[in-house]
Amino acid sequence: MEIKICGIRREDDIRIINKYEPEYIGFIFAPTRRYVSPLTAAKLSAMLTGDTKTVGVFVDAPREVVREAVRTAHLDAVQLHGSEDEEYIKNLGVDCEIWKAVRVRDGDDIPNINGADKILLDKYSEKELGGTGRTFDWSSVGTVKTDKPLILAGGLNKNNVRDGIRIFSPVCVDVSSSVETDGIKDEIKIKEFIDTVRNIE
């Protein structure tokens, strides 16, 4: 089971990542409190000592902005978290994986999205496009209409991640706010989450 720690912003965050080596880290290039610039992401990525890959998170960004960030920060994947459609993805023109976030409402089907390599499931919110720290109602999800690999996000923590994995069989779990204390990545919480996931049989 792969793990992504999202919202990486600080050199201290990278020190923690290098210690516990999740498969992915996420840099937020959308205007939120976790925003970093592509140049900052590049500097932080250069500090990685293991095999952790980098993901850039974008929300309805112009395609050239995404392409430039991929080049500058040497991203391994882009995560599209807005209203980007199949035409946008088709013409994105990046040489890396494309993950498309689906913001799930109660009863929603999980769609297939042509051009995306993986589908990320997050909670729908009218006010926020991600990072809510809340789960969607896992029991009310409709039909899964895609055979693409799933990434589970949205309110995961050490106490509920086991159930999420059992229900959705994702290839990766994505966490941010639940491994923070006062908005800062917390080494103890990151270790506990990673240990929990890696000890699931």
Backbone phi, then psi, for 182, in 5-degree steps?
55, 40
- The count of domains in the chain is 1
Q: Describe the chain by its helix, strand, coil percentages, rounded to 5.
A: 30, 25, 45
Grouping H, G, I as helix, E, B as strand and the rest as coil, residue 25 is strand
Give pLDDT, residue 180.
97
What is the DSSP-derived secondary structure letter of residue 171?
S
Over residues 25-32, the mean pLDDT reads: 96
- In tens, the pLDDT along 144-180 reads 889 999 999 989 999 999 999 999 999 999 999 999 9
Query: Using an 8 Å Cβ cutoff, are 36 and 28 in contact?
Result: yes
Q: What value does the mean pLDDT of the chain take?
A: 93
Query: Using an 8 Å Cβ cutoff, are 98 and 80 in contact?
Result: yes
pLDDT band at 125 (very low <50, low <70, confident <90, very high): low
pLDDT band at 134 (very low <50, low <70, confident <90, very high): low
Over residues 76-96, the mean pLDDT reads: 97
- Which residues, other chains included, contact 62 with Cβ-Cβ below 8 Å and sequence gap of 6+? none
CATH of the domain at 101: 3.20.20.70
Q: Which runs of consecutive H residues, i.e. helices, occur in the chain?
A: 11-20, 38-45, 63-73, 86-90, 161-168, 187-198
Full residue range of the structural domain in which residue 78 is found: 2-198
Query: Using an 8 Å Cβ cutoff, are 168 and 150 in contact?
Result: yes
